[in-house]
A and B are shown apart, each in its own frame.
Chain A
Amino acid sequence: MKYYLYFSFLLICISLNAQNNLPSNSVIDTVFSPKLTGESFFENKQYIGEQYFNNDWERGDILLSTGEMVYNKRLKYNGLFDEVIWMNDTNFGKYQLDKSSISDFWLNSTTGKTIHFKHINIDDTTGGHAIDIFTQVGVEGKVSLYIQRKISITGEANVYINNSLFYFNNIGESPLYFIKNTSNHFTKLSRISQKVLLKVFPEKKKEIAKMMSDNHLNLKTESDLIKVIGWLNTKVFP
């Protein structure tokens, strides 16, 4: 009996306390936070393979092009269409966010790792191509590495479902690498190799080759490329 009395007293105290206080800053932030803009997203499921960088919804933060931050939203990055998909917690609708409204976004995976994506929008008329994509930030410094988590159509397949024939596309990861050099010029790499990297920095060819041989690094994988760009920032372009 006493237990119930104490418990009900505690509940009364908590509710009184809640009434006395003004809305806390966290509540105010959600009310006053900037608004995301986008359009309804209807997922095309006629693909064999995963079209998302993160298959599960992950909480993330978004830096808008206005300089405002939006925190703690459920996000997915669609590598096939290069779009950020947001699940609205209020109505559980899926919305494709306006690309030009996003400057950066961060995905906080359940493993505790945060992955930073940046919107790169360059109207490179001299090079004859424009870049308007979301890329994962590999390394940022005087020399930067950005990785586009692109999902591409790799083939096609006919699939029978309930005795009906459906046409599906096979999709798979085909990442692209963008290296920004010291004069802010972007170079796209579709494969990773020492030869390709040395072409990007012809004036530092010898230094880079020596550094890689000294460190016994055979440039083959993405993590190797990240290491090399990191070294370039610390040792070649300090």
Chain B
Amino acid sequence: MILLKRIVFILVVQLVALSCCSVCAQTARIEAAYLQTDRTVYIAGESVFYKLYVLEADTKQRSECSKVGYVILRDATLNSSVKIRVKIDTGISSGSFILPDTLTSGVYQIVAFTADMKNYGEKHFFHKEIMIANRFDKELNFKLASSNTKESVSTKLPSLEPNIQTNKKVFGAREKVSVRLSHLNSKGSVAVSVFEDPKILSTNKSIVETLNGLVAASPDKKVLTGYTTENSGKILRGTVVDVTTNKNVSNATVLVSCIDTIPNLQYAITNSSGMFQMLLNNYYNGKELFLTIKDVPTNKHWKIKIEDEFAQPDKWNPSVISEKVEDKEYLLKSQNIVYINKSYPMKTDSIERPVSNAKFICPELYHCPVRTVYPSLFVPLDSLPEIAIELLPLVSINKYNGKYRAHIMNPTTSLVYNYNKEPAIFLDGVFVDDINNIISLGSEQIKKIDIVYTERIFGDLIFQGVISIISNSNEISRTTPAEQSQRLKNDTINTGKKFGIIDPVAIQNKNFPFFKQLLYWNPDIKINDTGTADLEFFTSDNTSDFIIRVEGISNDGTPYNASTGIQVNNQINTPKK
């Protein structure tokens, strides 16, 4: 009896420990996002400059987990006009994206999230509304958003309100403005934007309000979708489906490769629910991916379904609603300024970011010596089987039951390794799903053929040798994908253009029109040891009130938020009252 009690006691202790571990695992990785933009009102065709913060929801400190973030811009009908993937470095990402010229006027929503946040549902994503007017839409018959920010939440985080000092309050046109920021935490950086006050109430929460909201929010349960944190790069997710039975297929091997002069390969195997996740090598960024399923059984019809990482099924309704005439006046003025800037562009309006020098290494299938044959050096041959017979020793391409199959023989024994298994065949670096699709390639189309005669291993995959064909003009693009294959354009990491600092020499020419609504944007102003930071910018000929807005989060999770106004008077351009 005593023994039984002891056993029960140990079991209870283990159970408690297990549940504690479970709680820890669930709370430690919850992420939250905040996206700061340079403005909230734009004209289609302009750039949106942003800074994205990815934080640990509980500590408010920058998350070091996710390295990939997603930002989309969508309208009320859920059409996404902009979808970008961004690289997150210790919880921060900054860049810009261009609003397409063709956007209709209206209220749009920016959504920012990471793959990890998908586990908790869309309500955990960051949402922000911006207003966009089409450059040619003079009617502006849409309802503008007005403030509906909810009551502030009860729990308050400590926040810092930096002091913003300018050398004066009223400035002339094309005049230098010096700003000193003080009362800042020295460990961190801030983002500063200086923009024309649109006088349209914002519906968006500030960084402090957003972080306070995270504190007040009750802990949520995880939605069991199993999104893996993208802590190394983009993870391609999808399922393999049997089209006949409409059931997901487990243990199917999904292969990915792309056009290159080197045979390249990545693979993933579907789990018991038919789902696969593949950490895509950065080498595949911006390239067309060729996906296929290895060794599909005969008479089976399998297909790959790739998950859209930007999918946002939840509906949203733009905030309501004002029809003030002065709001539309601001938009009309913005349209005119954009028109002027399009007609008289300055060289420094925006600067291309330097392209990263990082070279991504191709995931090669083999690193061993190969035997190379150049068919063009021999008598012209019309098809692959002919080339195999005449030029490729120990390679046979023969017809079995109406379909061609390739085999490589063991160089030691001159016997086929395994008649049931084919070698890996690549055309222009891409894994070929069916040799019958490329059987008509002759000497004229083929530049060279590399053959690896030994049985090759790539991770857990075994191939009975490799035949790599490089064509003269990317013949793989002209082939029709087999039923089990799919082609997909992989996006690239967005950086966008940098905000161009105005060149003081360039604005000396008084005959050149110089109208700006965004005078300054810097997502990363470093704070010195005394907790201060200095910045300078120039005013333009645009007479108006401007807002200097400072936002940021220190390394210890303290949010900053402050803004102040300056006035720009241009004697030539002052509107008559």
Contact = CB atoms under 8 A, between A and B. Distances in A.
A3 B4 contact: yes
A40 B224 CA distance: 41
Interface in A12-54: 13-14, 17, 19-23, 28, 31-32, 34-40
The winner among A23, A66, A90, A95 for most chain B CB atoms within 10 A is A66
Nearest to A10: B11
Interface string B255-266: 000000000001
Contacts of B296: none
B8 A3 contact: yes
A6 interface: yes
B4 A2 contact: yes
Given A37-B456, A37-B458, A91-B460, A21 B367 contact: no
A100 B367 contact: yes
Given A10-B11, A98-B368, A23 B457 contact: no
B361 A66 contact: yes
Contact of A95 (B227, B232, B268, B457): B457
A13 B226 contact: no
Interface stretch (B12-20, B96-104, B284-292, B384-392): B12-20
B8 A2 contact: yes
Contact of B454 (A19, A23, A36, A39): A39
A6 B25 contact: no
Interface residues of B, number: 42
Given A37-B365, A93-B462, A22 B228 contact: yes
A209 to B, nearest CB: 45
B508 interface: no
Nearest to B232: A32
A70 to B, nearest CB: 10
B456 A39 contact: yes
Interface in A55-105: 65-67, 88, 90-91, 93, 95, 98-101
Contact of A90 (B224, B456, B460): B460
The winner among A9, A22, A40, A91 for most chain B CB atoms within 10 A is A22
Nearest to B227: A22
A100 B364 CA distance: 12
Contacts of A3: 4, 7-8
Interface string B220-245: 00101011100010010000000000
A237 interface: no
A36 B457 contact: yes
Contact of B458 (A13, A19, A28, A35): A35
B8 A39 contact: no
Contacts of A14: 18
A40 B463 CA distance: 10
A7 interface: yes
B22 A17 contact: yes
Given A10-B14, A31-B277, A37 B224 contact: no
Nearest to B364: A37
B271 to A, nearest CB: 9
Contacts of B12: 6
B46 to A, nearest CB: 39
Contacts, number: 91
A96 B226 CA distance: 36
A100 B366 CA distance: 10
B367 A37 contact: yes
B119 interface: yes
A168 to B, nearest CB: 20
Contacts of A17: 18-19, 22
B459 interface: yes
A193 B366 CA distance: 42
B364 A10 contact: no
B18 A88 contact: no
A14 B365 CA distance: 40
Nearest to B29: A22
B121 interface: no
A6 B8 contact: yes
Contacts of A10: 11, 14-15
B268 A31 contact: yes
A39 B370 CA distance: 13
Given A31-B268, A36-B459, A39-B454, A23 B228 contact: yes
Given A3-B8, A7-B11, A37 B457 contact: yes
Given A3-B7, A32-B232, A32-B279, A20 B457 contact: no
B367 A101 contact: yes
Contacts of A20: 22, 26, 222, 224
Contacts of A35: 266-267, 363, 458-459
Interface string B198-230: 000000000000000000000000101011100
Nearest to B277: A31
B455 interface: yes
A103 to B, nearest CB: 12
Contacts of A28: 228
A17 B363 CA distance: 36
A113 to B, nearest CB: 29
A23 B455 contact: no
Contacts of B19: 13, 17
A101 B459 CA distance: 13
Interface in B335-388: 361, 363-368
A126 B492 CA distance: 44
B15 A38 contact: no
A106 B4 CA distance: 47
B459 A40 contact: no
Nearest to A67: B361
Contacts of B268: 31
B466 to A, nearest CB: 10
Contact of B457 (A7, A39, A66, A99): A39
A202 B12 CA distance: 72
Interface string B58-102: 000000000000000000000000000000000000000000000
Contacts of B235: 32
Nearest first, the 3 A-B pairs at minimum CB distance are A35-B459, A98-B367, A32-B279
27 contacts: A2-B8, A7-B11, A10-B15, A13-B15, A13-B18, A13-B19, A17-B22, A20-B26, A21-B22, A21-B26, A28-B228, A32-B235, A34-B363, A35-B363, A36-B459, A37-B364, A37-B458, A39-B368, A39-B452, A39-B454, A39-B457, A40-B457, A88-B460, A93-B457, A93-B462, A98-B366, A98-B367
Given A13-B15, A22-B119, A22-B228, 4 more contacts: A10-B14, A17-B18, A37-B367, A37-B457
Interface of A: 2-3, 6-7, 9-10, 13-14, 17, 19-23, 28, 31-32, 34-40, 65-67, 88, 90-91, 93, 95, 98-101
